[in-house]
């Protein structure tokens, strides 16, 4: 006797999962970038980046399913290839979304609450291993997985490469320089003291040079600089800083410009 097929989830579920996955992805992005600026190269960034890449996969699966449902609503002819892809994305989405959310919460709890352990590399490694094992064990027990070896999809072996690609792409896209000055406005003959801190995703970019009117501004300590505004260019309205930097993974030279706020008083 043929088994009855499970009822397909409604469109509203896909929209809810799509919106929640985007929210998780954006929150983890801002949190990882802030943590990278405060504690670069910390081991506790690793579980957060894994959770972040998994949330992006959930966004992709939801996007494919929403496109598929849109073609059904528009009464377009469905090809067997598109139906097969939609069914695979549906299965992967509902298997992945729960562990992704749980692992994200565990990772956030490890970095926020367990500060005493996360201060050392051994403590961070313990938190990472314990959290990963706990999440896998929990969902294995809940769903009671029995996957024959012959049914394994060896495409899952590409997941680590996707995680590396996701981190490398975001490290390039989010690479930048955060400039802060001591005062809101400056006049001629003043000394401008400012900081130019690199910001990015996990891998902070390297500041190559800070130039003002063709002259290199020397770094003092921890990305802080001092600039003398006795130049005639400042009186003529030329008050731009040019900051050159290079992302770590994709080593291309980038530049940003910052306007020194001035007043005529």
CATH number at residue 188: 2.60.40
At 145 the pLDDT is 55
Residues listed for the chain: 265
Do residues 53 and 99 make contact, with C-beta atoms less than 8 angstroms apart?
Answer: no
Phi-psi region of 202 (alpha: psi -120 to 50; beta: other; left: phi over 0): left
Residue 74 three-state SS: coil
Same-domain check for residues 139 and 17? yes
164 inside domain = no
d(CA 262, CA 265): 9
Report the Cα 24 to chain-centroid distance in Å. Answer: 11
The ranges of the chain with pLDDT < 50 are 1, 4, 117-118, 148-152, 154
The pLDDT value recorded for residue 131 is 62
Nearest of 96, 92, 90, 93 to residue 135 by alpha carbon: 96
Same domain, 26 and 105: yes
Q: What is the pLDDT of residue 120?
A: 55
Assigned domain for 166 exists? no
19 and 69, same domain (yes or no): yes
């Amino acid at each position: 006797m043929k088994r009855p097929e499970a009822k397909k989830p409604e469109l509203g579920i896909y929209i809810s999962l799509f919106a929640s996955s985007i929210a998780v992805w954006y929150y983890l992005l801002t949190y990882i970038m802030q943590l990278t600026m405060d504690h670069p190269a910390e081991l506790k960034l690793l579980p957060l980046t894994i959770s972040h890449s998994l949330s992006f996969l959930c966004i992709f699966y939801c996007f494919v399913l929403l496109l598929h449902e849109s073609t059904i609503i528009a009464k377009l002819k469905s090809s067997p290839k598109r139906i097969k892809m939609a069914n695979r994305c549906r299965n992967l989405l509902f298997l992945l979304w729960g562990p992704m959310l749980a692992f994200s919460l565990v990772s956030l709890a490890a970095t926020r609450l367990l500060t005493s352990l996360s201060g050392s590399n051994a403590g961070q490694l313990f938190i990472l291993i314990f959290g990963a094992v706990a999440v896998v064990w929990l969902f294995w027990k809940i769903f009671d997985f029995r996957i024959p070896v012959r049914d394994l999809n060896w495409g899952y072996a590409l997941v680590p490469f996707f995680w590396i690609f996701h981190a490398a792409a975001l490290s390039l896209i989010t690479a930048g320089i955060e400039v802060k000055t001591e005062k809101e406005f400056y006049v001629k003959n003043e000394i401008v003291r400012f900081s130019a801190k690199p910001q990015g995703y996990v891998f902070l970019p390297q500041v190559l040079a800070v130039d003002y009117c063709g002259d290199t501004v020397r770094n003092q300590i921890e990305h802080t600089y001092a600039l003398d505004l006795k130049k005639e260019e400042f009186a003529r309205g030329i008050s731009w800083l040019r900051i050159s930097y290079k992302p770590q993974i994709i080593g291309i030279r980038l530049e940003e410009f910052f306007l020194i706020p001035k007043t005529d008083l």
